[in-house]
């Protein structure tokens, strides 16, 4: 039993050390590294089974200590119990041992649960942070793509404006060409008419 209680005391010291380091004024990244490292070391299938067995053993010792502490407390306060001082001292000694076991196993179980819960919370936060970073990165990519589309639309609008301007210039040039052609035909007709009049005059002179 003493070996078991010494092992529990060592486990309690390790838990207190982990909790003390976690409560130091260090950055969140360091805390995450600490609990992530613990998860890598103790998160495997075999370590999880071992720690569950240890947890059940601690619960058993804790319950046994409570029962025996209550039993020896009743014996001490029983008027018909121990009669000699040696027997009373022995009862007090057993009561002290079981009360010590209650404190040791109780604090060990409490810190065990505290570390387990803190590790779970940190892992959940890490997962949420990873998802959040992925969403932010995707949003930035979407923003960049949107900016490229807007820029492309602006360039297309400029090209459309240029094409419309060229179309107007083409229409103006076409209209001018048509007017020039009409003017040319008109002048040609007048010229032909003048040539016809001149030919008739020459025939009369002959």
Distance, C-alpha 126 to centroid of its chain = 6
Measure the N-to-C terminal CA separation of the chain; round to a whole number of Å: 157
Residue 203 is predicted with a pLDDT of: 53
- Dihedral angle at the C-alpha atoms of 32, 120, 115, 37, nearest 10 degrees? -40
At 197 the pLDDT is 67
Q: 3-class DSSP state for residue 27?
A: coil
Give the 3-state secondary structure of residue 52: helix
Taking the chain (206 residues) in runs of 10, the rounded mean pLDDT of each run is 83 86 78 75 73 88 91 80 74 88 91 83 79 85 82 81 85 83 82 70 54
- pLDDT score recorded for residue 83: 63
The pTM of this model reads 0.58
Q: What is the pLDDT of residue 103?
A: 92
Residue 66: name the closest of 109, 91, 100, 107 by CA: 100
Q: How many CB atoms lie within 10 A of CB 112?
A: 18
User: What is the CA 108 to chain-centroid distance, rounded?
Assistant: 32
The pLDDT value recorded for residue 149 is 83
């Amino acid at each position: 039993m003493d070996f078991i209680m010494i092992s529990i005391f060592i486990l309690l010291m390790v838990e207190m050390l982990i909790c003390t380091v976690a409560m130091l004024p260090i950055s969140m990244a360091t805390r995450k590294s600490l609990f992530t490292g613990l998860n890598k070391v103790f998160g495997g299938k075999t370590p999880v089974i071992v720690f569950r067995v240890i947890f059940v053993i601690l619960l058993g010792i804790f319950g046994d200590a409570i029962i025996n502490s209550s039993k020896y407390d009743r014996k001490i306060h029983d008027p018909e119990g121990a009669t000699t001082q040696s027997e009373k001292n022995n009862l007090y000694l057993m009561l002290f041992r079981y009360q010590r076991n209650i404190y040791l196993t109780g604090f060990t179980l409490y810190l065990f649960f505290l570390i387990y819960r803190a590790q779970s919370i940190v892992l959940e936060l890490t997962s949420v942070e990873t998802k959040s970073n992925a969403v932010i990165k995707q949003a930035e990519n979407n923003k960049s793509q949107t900016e490229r589309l807007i820029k492309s639309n602006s360039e297309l609008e400029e090209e459309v404006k240029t094409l419309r301007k060229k179309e107007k210039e083409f229409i103006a040039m076409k209209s001018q060409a048509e007017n020039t052609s009409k003017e040319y035909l008109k002048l040609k007709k007048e010229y032909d008419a003048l040539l016809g009049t001149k030919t008739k005059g020459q025939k009369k002179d002959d």
